[in-house]
Amino acid sequence: MERPRILVVGGGFAGLECARRLERKLAATEAQITLVAPFSYQLYLPLLPHVAAGVLTPQSVAISLRRSLHRTDIIPGGAIGVDPQAKVCIIRKITDQVVAEPYDYLVLAPGSITRTFDIPGLSEHARGMKTLAEAAYVRDHVISQLDLAAATLDQEERASRLQFVVVGGGYAGTETAACLQRLTTAALDRYPRLDPRLMKWHLIDIAPKLMPELGEHLGTRAMKVLRERGVEVSLGVSVAEVGDTTVTFTDGRVIPSRTLIWTAGVAASPLIGTLDAETVRGRIAVTAELRVPQFEGVFALGDAAAVPDLAKGDGAVCPPTAQHAARQGRKAADNLVAALRNQPLQPYYHKDLGLVVDLGGKDAVSKPLGVEMTGVPAQLVARGYHLMAMRTNVAKFRVGASWLLNAAAGDDFVRLGFLARRAATLRDFEYTGAYLTKEQVREHTQALHAKH
């Protein structure tokens, strides 16, 4: 008898945790497990600001899938369409070859992309912090601005190169602004021609509070730390227009700047749009057991799924965080095993373990199990949490060693030349134009049936 085919889409926190648990709970004879992922690693997303600041190398946060998984087949590519009626997933391999992969059970964990708005100039000039390539690119770009500012005699050009704008007052934006501001401040010692008074970082968000999930006290504390460092934090403000050398805020201010880092939220992967499924604010609607009710054998989780938050109730859905994604991955695996063995499925219920925000150096704010912490103790908790959350000892060692090296030797200010001659956009890094329409998915499915 042929083994059931389990196809896991996505190698992030949700997909990797699901595949790992399936390997542990299922015998090799019970199912064939396949993972679809465009890269050979799970990106440890919370530490991207450290990569952008050069505290960590890109390889440190790229956790090898082949070290984490032992008998799961890995297809190097991205899912670009799903036909749940035919039980087929359309995959574009990294060679651009398009194949149709049949399945018996499907786990959708394609993650999210950067959420953008129809703001003039945004798509041409914004840089994101969602992928490893983006973090490496942002680092090169920021250091190049210092180099170019030091090399020019044009005061207007110099002013625009030394002002940086980060949009988004959540964890990603706050940590990015904090880590990069710390890097550029340390770099000024190496640029004697630059006036420190011209250097300025702006962190803006349309929300009235910075990281409201932290609570009033810790959010205020984080904002105080940033402002004491010289970061200008503006709340209730967004971007009205982005130009080559200026950024216009919605309060009318025009900032001379050639750097806009956009971290204003996420949207579900466009893959969800290829299914005829009910959605909640763009995320596919699932039951508390992580099942997609319209389709047999389909589970969805992570950033792309609207998973009911039973701990909060009142129709709330779980926020798109790594903590939820990893735990949903394990629950999805448990429920998939239960489905294979004709056992009852269990709902996903998770009590929040707390939040950690690393502001670089000795600065941090943390709230583990509801206990508010700041400074060095918070920093130890934050970094300890990240090390525990990593899935391989190699990754833990690389990250820990890099932190120690940075603390002992300080920062470096090296440009690697990553896409040096090309102004890469969000679309370039996140491949948002790669997905099929529903009609194209059906065409691929029909071609598969005709072939067989």
In a domain, 364, yes or no: no
What range does the domain containing 202 cover? 117-264
In a domain, 102, yes or no: yes
The helix (H) or strand (E) run that includes residue 219 is helix 216-229
Asked if 253 contacts 311 with a C-beta cutoff of 8 angstroms, the reply is: no
- For residues 271 and 252, state if they share a domain: no
- For residues 300 and 219, state if they share a domain: no
Contacts from 290-293 at CB under 8 Å and sequence distance 24+? 290/328, 290/331, 290/332, 290/335, 290/348, 291/335, 291/345, 292/84, 292/108
- For residues 61 and 203, state if they share a domain: no
- For residues 294 and 171, state if they share a domain: no
In a domain, 251, yes or no: yes
Indicate the Cα dihedral angle 171, 429, 416, 66, nearest 10°: 80
How much of the chain exceeds pLDDT 90, in percent? 83
In a domain, 166, yes or no: yes
The answer to pTM > 0.85 is yes
CATH code of residue 24: 3.50.50.60
pLDDT in tens, the chain (452 residues): 689 999 999 999 999 999 999 999 999 999 999 999 999 999 999 999 999 999 999 999 999 999 999 999 999 999 999 999 999 999 999 999 999 999 999 999 999 999 999 999 999 999 999 999 999 999 999 999 999 999 999 999 999 999 999 999 999 999 999 999 999 999 999 999 999 999 999 999 999 999 988 888 899 999 999 999 999 999 999 999 999 999 999 999 999 999 999 999 899 999 999 998 999 999 999 999 999 999 999 999 999 999 999 998 888 999 999 999 999 999 999 999 999 999 999 999 998 878 899 999 899 999 988 899 999 999 999 999 999 999 899 999 999 999 999 999 998 888 888 666 666 677 778 777 788 887 888 887 777 666 65
How much of the chain exceeds pLDDT 70, in percent? 97
81-125 tens-digit pLDDT: 999 999 999 999 999 999 999 999 999 999 999 999 999 999 999
Q: Quote the crossing angle between the two packed helices 171-187 and 132-151, to the nearest 10°.
A: 30
Amino acid at 110: P
How far apart CA 69 and CA 19 sit, in angstroms, is 7
- Which of 215, 235, 264 is a domain's end point? 264
Q: What is the DSSP letter of 103?
A: -
- For residues 94 and 219, state if they share a domain: no
- For residues 304 and 233, state if they share a domain: no
- For residues 59 and 96, state if they share a domain: yes
- For residues 129 and 222, state if they share a domain: yes
Q: Quote the crossing angle between the two packed helices 393-409 and 375-389, to the nearest 10°.
A: 150
In a domain, 219, yes or no: yes
